[in-house]
Chains A and B, each alone.
Chain A
Amino acid sequence: MLRVALPVGFGIAVLATPLVASGYPLREATTILMYMALALSWNLIGGLCGYPSVGNVAFFGIGAYVTAALVAHLHWTLLPALGASALAALAFAAVIGPIVLRLNGHYFAIATLGTAQALGQIVIMVPWVGGPNGIILRVPIGDTDVYYLMAAVLGLALLITHVILRGSWGYACRMIRQDEHAAAACGVNATYYKTACWGLSAIVAALVGSVYAVWITFVNPPSVFDPLYSLTMVVLTLVGGAGTLWGPVVGAFLVEIVDQYLWANLLTAHTLFLGVVIVVIVLFLPRGVWPYLTGQQGLSWRSLFEGTRRLRV
């Protein structure tokens, strides 16, 4: 029931939104779709394989910058520029992946963070892409078109995650997450699967970055290499439930709705809120809200404390 009703219902809701919303509400909806796709991007490497990247903003930034440079400087049309952005991010992932995916735990997290930070700093020093001033690009495209582009990227991210989770690839990822040595001992080519997930994660984040650049019409290093994007991806995924198909989507929806409400009403509290959400989620819902929504886990006052009962000292 849920397996059919949920994708169909979600698809109809996403496709129908521009019919009832325009202007500011439609842009809010686009933002939510963007964060859903970003959360799914992180989920591919962090949730499925257990490799907690804190540098996925590098791919987002590459996507945004490549699209902006191709459209503004070389006068490419939009769709080829999107494809080139995805390929550029994939190439970067292929170069950096063999280095960082050898690391694990804290070292992987910080190496990805360092890579993204260094990339942002290097972009500032390249005059062709405007250095610290960035690039202004103009694509004749309306809000509704941007919305559907973002929805298409989200659909692609869902499709990729679904295909991975459905087959042996998903089992391989789960084994890598739980014990990489044991997975290798069982004949799972861990390097192959985690590198493939890393590349797909890069493609999704880059496509989101491309659409974002076209939408905002301006990119500069502080805005598209903001480490906050990397961290938001992590938080949204964990709120929903890492390693699941719909968890990141639900998490992105919940957090962004509350976040946009706070942003509109209590500007100073909105970043403080994100910090408090992270602390509460880690302590009380280490598996996210998705197990509660599917009924795998009954909701009770005690279950909130069960989550970390075996983890404490």
Chain B
Amino acid sequence: MEIWPQIIVNGLLLGGVYALSALAFSLEWGILNIVNLAHGSFIMLGAYLTWMLLTSPLHLDPLLSIPIDFAVLAVLGFLMQRYLLNRVMRGQFFLTLLLTFGIDYVLVNIGILLWTADPRAVITSYSATSLAIGALTIPYTRVAVLAAALVMTVALARFMHHTRMGRAINATGMDLDAASLMGVRLPIVFALTMGLGCGLAGVAGALYSVNFPFSPQIGGGLTLRAFVVTCLGGLGNVYGPLLGGLVLGMVESVASVVIGSGAVDAAAFIMLVFILALRPRGLGGRVTA
């Protein structure tokens, strides 16, 4: 079959999208023990911010809007954690789950009020261009996502292990009270972690917008896939999302050809339930209390 090399390349490139969008979700879950159901909506906000900057009089290139997306969403995430989520951090996990669900609902509806439910697309001069190697077609914008996923993952790993702030974040993820006794200011570190996560979601949103059309409702599907990716890659490992993302991208790419494109979602969900049935903490999951 001549199409198989293309299917594998497509899977890898799709995996880059999933890896990048799950990176922040996995960080928030691993460190804060929050399953951030609003995660996909932060990606959506990043995509719209890029779109607004491009269509504004500035005509800012989507790739140049990445730092702006990161900064704006990091501030939003910081405020959300500092003033809403920090209030219930010691409660049952279900409170944070429900709170982020409520926030997600608010974000989606604000998105619909501001930008309507019509799908938008970010079109640039390099949008439809691609690299051709023999029979293979590789769109440049997808390569950019995969590259960003790799760079962001390595940068996050170095940040977490080699900076004072990264170590403080890691320490709170390991033991909240012990970290607090060592002088880590929990409310601030939690808020910074969520800020970092939402900033990364903004980066993912900028790159999402140059690859796919988007509407305010894209968040739910992205959050679910981030969950699948995190379960696949294992919690508490910075490189987990990269591995999980590439596996999911490959499975979806193959499933869309073998079973049909309508079955892609079902394949992802069924895979999730099977993984959890066999390994209740995910494939590479650590055991926590």
Asked if A102 and B102 sit within 8 Å, CB to CB, the answer is no
Verify if A234 is at the interface (C-beta below 8 Å from B): yes
Partner of B98, one of A99, A234, A308: A234
In residues 166-193 of chain B, which contact A (Cβ within 8 Å)? 176, 186-187, 190
The CA of A278 and the CA of B102, in the complex, are separated in Å by 5
The CA of A114 and the CA of B273, in the complex, are separated in Å by 7
Verify if A295 is at the interface (C-beta below 8 Å from B): no
Smallest CB separation, B143 vs chain A (Å): 30
Verify if A310 is at the interface (C-beta below 8 Å from B): yes
Interface centre among A124, A125, A238, A311 (most CB of B within 10 A): A311
Please, which residues of chain A bring their CB within 8 A of the CB of B239? none
The CA of A313 and the CA of B186, in the complex, are separated in Å by 7
Partner of A106, one of B95, B97, B101: B97
Question: Which residue from chain A places its CB closest to the CB of B285 in the assembled complex?
Answer: A107
Asked if A103 and B105 sit within 8 Å, CB to CB, the answer is no
The CA of A279 and the CA of B110, in the complex, are separated in Å by 15
In residues 262-304 of chain A, which contact B (Cβ within 8 Å)? 268, 271-272, 274-279, 282-283, 286
Asked if B97 and A109 sit within 8 Å, CB to CB, the answer is yes
Please, which residues of chain B bring their CB within 8 A of the CB of A227? 220
Asked if A313 and B262 sit within 8 Å, CB to CB, the answer is no
Smallest CB separation, B256 vs chain A (Å): 13
Assuming the contacts A109-B97, A114-B272, A117-B269, asked whether A272 and B91 have C-beta atoms less than 8 A apart, the reply is no
How many of chain B's residues have a CB under 8 angstroms from any CB in A? 49
Question: Which residue from chain A places its CB closest to the CB of B277 in the assembled complex?
Answer: A99
Interface residues on A, range: 35 or more
What mask results when residues 248 to 274 of chain B are scored 1 for a CB within 8 Å of chain A, else 0? 000000000000001101100110110
A-B contact count (CB 8 A): 130
Please, which residues of chain A bring their CB within 8 A of the CB of B106? 272, 275-276, 279
Verify if B72 is at the interface (C-beta below 8 Å from A): no
What mask results when residues 140 to 179 of chain B are scored 1 for a CB within 8 Å of chain A, else 0? 0000000000000000000000000000000000001000
Question: Which residue from chain A places its CB closest to the CB of B180 in the assembled complex?
Answer: A313
The CA of A313 and the CA of B29, in the complex, are separated in Å by 17
Asked if B86 and A312 sit within 8 Å, CB to CB, the answer is yes
Assuming the contacts A105-B93, A275-B104, A279-B106, asked whether A118 and B276 have C-beta atoms less than 8 A apart, the reply is no
| 26 A-B pairs whose Cβ atoms sit less than 8 Å apart in the complex | A99-B273, A103-B280, A107-B231, A107-B276, A111-B273, A114-B228, A118-B266, A121-B269, A227-B220, A238-B98, A268-B112, A268-B113, A271-B108, A272-B109, A275-B109, A277-B102, A278-B105, A279-B103, A282-B88, A282-B102, A283-B88, A286-B88, A308-B88, A312-B88, A313-B86, A313-B190
The list of the 9 closest CB pairs from A to B, nearest first, reads A275-B105, A278-B102, A118-B269, A121-B266, A311-B91, A272-B109, A275-B106, A279-B102, A114-B269
